[in-house]
Structure 1
Amino acid sequence: MTNWMPDIPAGKGPMYVRLANRIADDIVTGALAAGAKLPPQRDLAYDLGITVGTVGRAYALVREQGLVSGEVGRGTYVLGSAPDTDLVEDPKPDLRSPTNAVPATTAASSTVAWTQMATSVTDPGFAGTRIPVPATGAIRLDSTSAPEIGQADVIRDLTLRITADSPYEIASYTRAVPDSWRQAGQQWLTRSGWQPPEATIVPTTGAQAAIMAIIAATTNPGDRVIFEELTYSSIARGAALSGRQIVQVPRDDEGPLPDELDRVCSQKHPKVLFLMPTMHNPTLGTMPEERRKAIVAVARQHNLWLIEDEVYGSLRETALTPLAALAPERTFHVGSLSKSVTAGVRGGWVSSPLSHAQRVYTAHKMLTGGISFLLAELSARLVLSGAASDFRQKVLAEIAARHDLVQACLPGHDMNSAADAPFFWLKLPSPWLAGNFKTAAAAAHVLIDDEDEFKPGRTGNVYHRVRIGFSNPHTREETAQALEVIRQLLEDSGACYDSFE
């Protein structure tokens, strides 16, 4: 370990930013050589008379810049003054690629760069709960995209045909929606004896863009949007970022409690309710018929729009009536290809109340810049050719096989799981806390989501659960390897007291 002791520059900025500046400058000048080990966070905090959290935040910033790397059980090491210069645009980069580092700043510009980075990293409006700079080679169990089961060959062939058939359309902006795109959406969203009218279909760039367009089309800044106390919180964060107010409603295993929803509507006067009636994320619950009818009744009483997110619902066969069939005048039914076919194509559709179809289309265009002809045409051809349905069956078979691995590796553990679901909702044994468990898994190069990832806002409810997705690893062998890490952590309750520094 180096005997390095930083001389922290005076200034008005936060202490952790100034400490990060000093680390960066000393790396650039050679005071901290490549391969040098930084002092443990506790030791440096004691020597400097500051908190461990301050040192931890400074170390996180230098990791963000690609100047140091943390090695499990060993500490934090200097990478050098010239790390890889590939900029990271995606906050969840491909962990298999070593070229994810942000370039180091020069000594002259480091203070400005660190201050800007500190703002982006710590701004609560933009912060998530996922590991910002995971270790290279980590296995992602924090994603539930469709597994790779040979989609690339079909996508390649369809793309070649599209480029041959529509060279002008690919070269230009998309200014009209072909009938085939609506027909594909109509076919993909059809379920349980319900088929949306073709005129209600709006093609979108995936489900999240669709939902944000719906919120924009039905509300104004300052309006309230309701979310369940556990939900896909990226939508809540996006809504808050766009100036909407987030309201939470209590739920049970069947979904939002109708009486509580009525109370919230009477007191808060919200405009929209976001729901996942089939295969709820993260609990895996499916809303029964009577609860669906009760929710619709409350929505009609309070003139509430409903957003029915059925992205996971495309994986589950059910006879339950969609909310869009029960209340077509107020329900936006959203589906996509991401969980059951392929996530990278970004294919999605909304069945909108006819009165708002054009508004959703316009809002989507204004928010996203417009749909990609190539991706929308590819999504439509995947559905209309039957390839999407074929892939869905193969995806379900792969999910079932990986579900079997879960059951074999974690027998007897309390979890919500199903053979058609790409994730499970795991109850942690005492004394594990969800955040500690996520940190411990990350230290072992396995990324998972703790319960806070699914909370749209502050709540007093604590579940002591984590969501573990298993569809993203490339192979079943890699999935089994990650599950073995989870098993060992569950059996080693003493590990929950480790700092994993």
Structure 2
Amino acid sequence: MTIWNSAPEKFDRPAYRSLADFMTAAIKREELATGDKLPPHRDLAHMLGLSVQTVSRAYDLLIQRGMASGHVGRGTYVSAKRLETQPPYIQAAQGDQLIDFSNLKPVGGQIHVDRMRATLSALSQDMTPSALFSFRPANALRPYLAPAISWLETCGLSCSQEQIVMTNGSSSAMTTALLTVAGGGLVVSDQTCHHPLLRQSQYLGFRLMGLNTDQEGITPDGLEAACRKTQVKALFVLPNGLNPMALTMGLERRSQLVEIARRYDIAIIENDAWGPVQEHRLPPIASLAPERTAYFTSFTKCLLPGLRHGYLVMPDTQAQAAANRHLATDWTATPLMADIAARWIEDGTAAELLSWQQKTLDRRNQLVREILSPIPFNSSSNGLHIWLPLPGEWTEDAFIETARQKGIVVAPGSAFALPEAQTKPGIRVCLGTADEDHLVFGLEQLALIWHSRPEPGFPVF
């Protein structure tokens, strides 16, 4: 294979990781194709002047990354799994010693358990019959539309009942919105973008391109240049700090992007999964351009992870198309979840839990500022995470492995970067998963690592 001719004469330490990185890049460039057989360990070691053990460890790491698969007696092959983007969060519990800063979710407490127990008890006495017996989404969900309107107004958006598609959370809403407006065309977003968008582009068959950003997110010049160069179908935005880099878009920037979208007739998809958890928030882009914006929000990130219910608001002209696509993919939002969400909106539980979340996140963000000062980082008001740029010699891999040795898990910036994106090293640190004592300890350890220097050839266990 000719790619070995371009291999470095001397790999950086640890050599096995450098070799694995070299092969990973070759796979992403399709210089190594799915099904290609990699050279035998001994042959490649001789070819590159490395030890057989180094090549074996590189192949093992490649398999762990899902880029290759090993078959006893047959060898190691490039795997089609390379098309699967790896989630930035930890996938399974690895013991009580880990402080998990990788998973983006709200803070939970006994108040949530108590309120849900009380609600489930009430549901056993007076659940709406249509929630149990109706197969038709319109019939089963109609009683919950008025509370939905009320909650969306809390988010800063006014709309009609006919514009709302109820979903099982933001992921379902996002799929429906993309199916409705992307149509196999080009979707543009931040270079460091919402992680599920990477997978959606693979599964739904639309093209995805990253745009340059500044401290407010996507720049008008970047969007304008993309629209002049090629036909853009949709702009995907997370304007309220939800994006991995915790960037908040100002009102003028929102208006500028809307003006460009109107001029080039492109749709806007607005992810507002945090909803009203951020106080004194700017109006949604959907309120500035209701005729072309698909807006979605849910209760999962701002109230309770287990309350998987949300709202997709479409322009009048696309509402029925979105409803049809939701029928084809999910059929209907779960009526039980819709009933709980509606009860909480109407009886004040949602407002109570929202206020609790806002105060808790406000305190946690204050702790972050105190512990990390004077380290520069990105954050948003009452945000569920921060973005920590890495200094000097630190790579994401080295920083993450060093943190893991201290029992701390964070998400690498590379997990959010679009292919060919030119991004600087950084990590996402989520604030909702640990109790406060662990939060403080974990942040203190991250600060110590940030101020230190990486050890040469840091081992991976």
Same fold (TM over 0.5): yes
Change (3 A) 1:17 1:449: farther
Matched with 1:187 is 150
Equivalent runs, 1:37-52 vs 2, <5 Å: 46-48=51-53, 50-52=55-57
- Inter-CA distance 415–160: structure 2 relative to 1 (3 Å threshold): same
Q: Which residue of 2 aligns with 1:84?
A: none
Indicate the residue corresponding to 2:273 in structure 1: 311
Task: Tell me, in whole angstroms, the C-alpha distance in 2 between the residues paired with 1:260 and 1:277.
Answer: 16
What amino acid sits opposite 1:46 in the alignment?
S
Counterpart code for 2:437? E
Equivalent residue number for residue 182 of structure 2:
219
Alignment-derived partner of residue 251 in structure 2: 289
Q: CA deviation at 1:331?
A: 0.7
Query: Which of the residues 402, 426, 443 maps onto 1:465?
Result: 426
Shift of 1:136: 2.5
Supply the distance in 1 between the matched residues of 2:163 and 2:419 (Cα, whole angstroms). 32
1:198 aligned residue: 161
User: In structure 2, what is the Cα distance between the partners aligned to 1:248 and 1:364?
Assistant: 27
User: Is the alpha carbon distance of 1:280 and 1:145 closer, same or farther for their aligned partners in structure 2, counting shifts above 3 Å?
Assistant: closer
Say whether the 8 Å CA contact 1:226–1:249 is kept in structure 2. yes
After superposition, what is the alpha-carbon deviation per residue over 1:145-194, rounded to whole angstroms, capped at 9, x for unaligned? 11112212212222233343246733664532533422222222225764
Kept in 2, the 8 Å contact 1:332–1:351? The answer is yes
Q: Tell me if structure 2 keeps the 8 A contact 1:182–1:202.
A: no
| Structure 1 contact 162–374 (Cα < 8 Å) conserved | no
Question: Deviation at 1:346?
Answer: 0.9
Q: State the partner residue of 1:147.
A: 107
Give the secondary-structure state (helix, strand or coil) at the position aligned to 2:208: strand
Q: Which runs of 5+ in 2 are unaligned?
A: 1-34, 42-49
Mapping of 1:328-339 within 5 angstroms? 328-339=290-301
Q: How many residues align?
A: 413
User: 5 Å matches for 1:475-494?
Assistant: 475-494=435-454
CA RMSD of aligned residues (A): 3.2
Whether the aligned pair in 2 keeps the contact of 1:16 and 1:54 (CA below 8 Å) is no
Report the Cα offset of residue 57 of structure 1. 4.2
> What secondary structure does 2:95 align onto?
coil
Residue type of the alignment partner of 2:103: S
> CA 1:55–1:111 in 2, change beyond 3 Å: closer, same or farther?
closer
Tell me how far 1:214 sits from its aligned partner: 0.6
> How far 1:297 moved relative to its partner?
1.0
Partner of 2:260: 298
**Is 1:136 aligned with 2:95?**
yes
- Do structure 1's residue 456 and structure 2's residue 418 form an aligned pair? yes
Instruction: Tell me if 1:127 matches 2:86.
Output: yes
1:498 aligns with 2:458: yes
Q: Deviations over 1:400-447 (max 9, x none)?
A: 222233233322111123451121111222211123212322333321
TM-score w.r.t. length of structure 2: 0.80
TM-superposed deviation, 1:197: 2.3
Retained in 1: the 8 A contact 2:156–2:284? no
Q: Structure 1 residue 306: deviation in Å?
A: 0.6
Alignment of 1:347-358 (within 5 A): 347-358=309-320
- Note the C-alpha offset of 1:369: 4.3
Q: What TM-score, normalized to structure 1? A: 0.74
CA contact (8 A) 2:155 2:276 kept: no
Identical amino acids, percent of aligned pairs: 21
Q: 1: CA distance between counterparts of 2:84 and 2:62?
A: 18
